[in-house]
Amino acid sequence: MKAKTILKKEPANKKIRKETHSQAAQVRGADLVIQCLEHEGVEVIFAYPGGASMELHQSLRRSTQIRTVLPRHEQGGIFAAEGYARATGKAGVCMTTSGPGATNLITGLADAYLDSVPLVAITGQVASHLIGKSAFQETDMFGMTLPVVKHSYLVTSLAEVPRVIKEAFYIAQSGRPGPVLIDLPKDIQQSYINPVFPDKVTLRGYQFPPKPRENDLLAILEHIRKSERPVIYAGGGVITSGSSAELIKFVEKTHIPVATTLMGCGAFPETHPLSLKWLGMHGCVAANNAVNEADLVLAFGVRFDDRVTGKVEKFAEHATIVHIDIDNSELNKNRCVHLPIQANLRDVLKGLNRLWENPTKGSFKPWLQRVAEWKKEFPLKWNDSKDVIQPQYAIRRLYELTGGDAIITTGVGQHQMWAGQFYDFTSPRTLITSAGLGSMGFGFPAAIGAKVAYPNKQVVDIDGDGSFLMNIQELATAHIENIPVKAMILNNQHLGMVVQWEDRFYQSIRGHTFLGDPQNPKRIYPDYPAICAGFGVKCERVSNRKDLDAAIQRMLDSKEAYVLDILTPYTEHVLPFIPAGKTYRDIIID
pLDDT, one tens digit per residue, over 266-315 is 999 999 999 999 999 999 999 999 999 999 999 999 999 999 999 999 99
- Residue 411, Cα to own-chain centre: how many angstroms? 11
What distance in Å separates the CA atoms of residue 210 and residue 199, rounded to the nearest whole number?
Answer: 24
Residue from 405, 453, 457, 407 nearest 433 by CA: 407
| 334/399 Cα distance (integer angstroms) | 35
Could you tell me if 259 and 278 are in contact, meaning their C-beta atoms sit under 8 angstroms apart? yes
- At 378, is the pLDDT very low, low, confident or very high (cuts 50, 70, 90)? very high
Check whether 10 has a pLDDT greater than 60. Answer: no
Question: How is residue 514 annotated by DSSP?
Answer: B
**DSSP alpha helix (H) spans, 227-279:** 236-240, 244-254
The DSSP secondary-structure symbol of 520 reads: S
What one-character DSSP code corresponds to residue 120? E
Q: What amino acid is encoded at 102 in this protein?
A: A
CATH of 391-567, picked from 3.30.70.1380, 3.40.50.970, 3.20.20.70, 3.90.226.10, is: 3.40.50.970
Fold agreement (14-193, 214-377): yes
Residues in the chain, overall count = 590
Q: Are 563 and 532 in contact (CB under 8 A)?
A: yes
Closest CA to 560 of 473, 486, 488, 487: 486
Share of the chain above pLDDT 70, in %: 95
In this predicted structure, the answer to whether residue 18 has a pLDDT above a threshold of 50 is no
Q: What is the pLDDT of residue 361?
A: 55
> Which residues are annotated as catalytic?
74, 136-137, 186, 497
Strand partners, 489: 463, 565
Boundaries of every domain in the chain: 14-193, 214-377, 391-567
Q: What architecture is the 214-377 domain classified under in CATH?
A: 3-Layer(aba) Sandwich (3.40)
β-strands 27-28, 192-193: how paired?
antiparallel
Report the distance separating Cα 468 and Cα 411, nearest Å.
7
CA–CA gap between residue 575 and residue 417 (Å, rounded): 9
> Class assignment of domain 14-193?
alpha beta
In this prediction, residues 346-352 reach a mean pLDDT of 98
pTM, full prediction: 0.94
CA–CA gap between residue 449 and residue 85 (Å, rounded): 8
Exposed/middle/buried for residue 140 (C-beta within 10 Å: 0-12, 13-18, 19+): middle
pLDDT at 357: 83
Q: Which residue from 25, 12, 186, 207 is spatially nearest to 99, judged by alpha carbons? A: 186
**Quick one: average pLDDT of 440-449?**
98
